[in-house]
Amino acid sequence: DQGSGVIWDTKGRIVTNNHVVASAKQGANIRVTLNDSRTYTAHLVGTDSLTDLAVIQIDNPPTDLTPIHPAGNNSLTVGQPVMAIGNPLGLAGTVTTGIVSALDRPVTTQQEGANNPFTNSQAEPVVTNAVQTSAAINPGNSGGALVDASGSLVGINSAIATVGQSSSLGGQSGNIGIGFAIPVSEVKTIAGQLINTGHAEHAYLGVYLKDARVKVGSATRDAAGVARVVPNSPAANAGLKKGDAITAIDGETVNGSLSLVAQVHQRSVGEKATLTVIRGGHQHQINITFAAKTNSNG
């Protein structure tokens, strides 16, 4: 397996995609090659399949590492120039340029090794509130940096569009001009948790969703429809009800169930948010505080 990564700190921690290092969970060795061709062994610090992020640690790291500088959480605008850095198709040290094509793009990919042939079960898909870019990224760019004009990290490259769908960069499809990166705000949150505890907590709302279309004034709009509210969940405690249609979260448009799931995945446990809800033809603002997702609450 080949991929890319970013140096996170001077201690030799590197952030990459979970699917890049997935085989290391079964005992495969990890090798890190720096831009000057020095190669080191490394080991896993923590992985998070739900966001497709991982942190690895260089064994006996050198003292001259320069960590990447993360950009601010809301520093991107559509049309802004960006550069993707990585190891596409094994071509180390490759950079490509493009623009931010879209923000808050809900993208779904399958977790690495998600299907269990012995239990016939499927893991929850990876849903990312992604940065969409025209910078060419290909298999091997996985886990690499998407940076702005100043060189600050704005995302971790993770997926590309294929005809009719999106797929993780662990697949073999080539670039068709639409790539996706995990936004830096999510990277900072998950990487910090993986470094501190080896695992990540995820925000939990407590609703079953469906795509919906509601009337707002004389117009109609797409929304995330609430099909069921889980008792004693953050949604129930905030007063959400079956039949509600969620059209925005903190002012960001929600145009379907996948859009809301992606927005929730980007948030942290304990974080507060305001949902814009259409109920009975009237608009309401509902404040909610996200809890931690557990195996028991789904």
- What single string gives the DSSP state of each residue in 181-197? EEEHHHHHHHHHHHHHH
pLDDT category at 115 given cuts 50, 70, 90 is: very low
pLDDT category at 75 given cuts 50, 70, 90 is: confident
- Residues tagged active-site: 19, 52, 142
**Do residues 6 and 39 lie in contact, with contact meaning Cβ atoms separated by under 8 Å?**
no
pLDDT category at 121 given cuts 50, 70, 90 is: very low
pLDDT category at 172 given cuts 50, 70, 90 is: low
Q: In the prediction, which pLDDT does 112 show?
A: 57
- The Cα 271–Cα 264 span in angstroms is 10
Q: In the prediction, which pLDDT does 169 show?
A: 61
Task: Give 263-278 pLDDT, tens digit per residue.
Answer: 999 899 999 999 999 9
**Do residues 149 and 165 lie in contact, with contact meaning Cβ atoms separated by under 8 Å?**
no
Residue 119: enclosing H or E segment and its boundaries?
Answer: none
As a whole number, mean pLDDT of residues 8-25 equals 94
**Do residues 16 and 32 lie in contact, with contact meaning Cβ atoms separated by under 8 Å?**
no
Task: Give 247-262 pLDDT, tens digit per residue.
Answer: 999 999 999 999 999 9
- Quote the radius of gyration of the chain (alpha carbons, Å): 20
Q: Enter the tokens of residue 200.
A: 């990540």
pLDDT category at 163 given cuts 50, 70, 90 is: low
Greater pLDDT, 118 or 229: 229
Q: Which domains does the chain have, with CATH numbers?
A: 1-112+123-200 (2.40.10.120), 203-292 (2.30.42.10)
pLDDT category at 295 given cuts 50, 70, 90 is: low
Q: Enter the tokens of residue 140.
A: 């091997």
Task: Give 187-213 pLDDT, tens digit per residue.
Answer: 999 999 999 999 999 999 999 999 999
Q: In the prediction, which pLDDT does 237 show?
A: 95
Any idea what DSSP says for residue 89?
G
What is the rounded end-to-end Cα distance, in angstroms, of the chain?
32
As a whole number, mean pLDDT of residues 144-150 equals 96
Q: In the prediction, which pLDDT does 143 show?
A: 95
Task: Give 100-114 pLDDT, tens digit per residue.
Answer: 999 999 998 876 544
- The Cα 50–Cα 17 span in angstroms is 11
Q: Enter the tokens of residue 165.
A: 């769908």
As a whole number, mean pLDDT of residues 122-146 equals 88
Q: Enter the tokens of residue 78.
A: 């559509």
Task: Give 77-87 pLDDT, tens digit per residue.
Answer: 999 999 999 99
Task: Give 213-232 pLDDT, tens digit per residue.
Answer: 998 888 899 999 999 999 99
Q: In the prediction, which pLDDT does 120 show?
A: 38
- Going along the chain, which residue ranges are E strands? 6-7, 13-16, 30-33, 39-48, 53-58, 81-86, 94-109, 126-133, 145-147, 153-162, 165-168, 179-183, 203-204, 207-216, 219-229, 245-249, 252-253, 272-279, 282-289, 291-292
As a whole number, mean pLDDT of residues 108-122 equals 50
Residue 29: enclosing H or E segment and its boundaries?
Answer: none
pLDDT category at 165 given cuts 50, 70, 90 is: low
In the predicted structure, residue 238 carries a pLDDT above the cut 60: yes
The C-alpha angle with vertex 21 and arms to 16 and 22, in degrees rounded to 5, equals 130
| Total length of the chain | 298
**Percent of the chain at pLDDT exceeding 70:** 90
**Do residues 137 and 147 lie in contact, with contact meaning Cβ atoms separated by under 8 Å?**
no
Q: Enter the tokens of residue 292.
A: 């931690």
Q: In the prediction, which pLDDT does 173 show?
A: 59
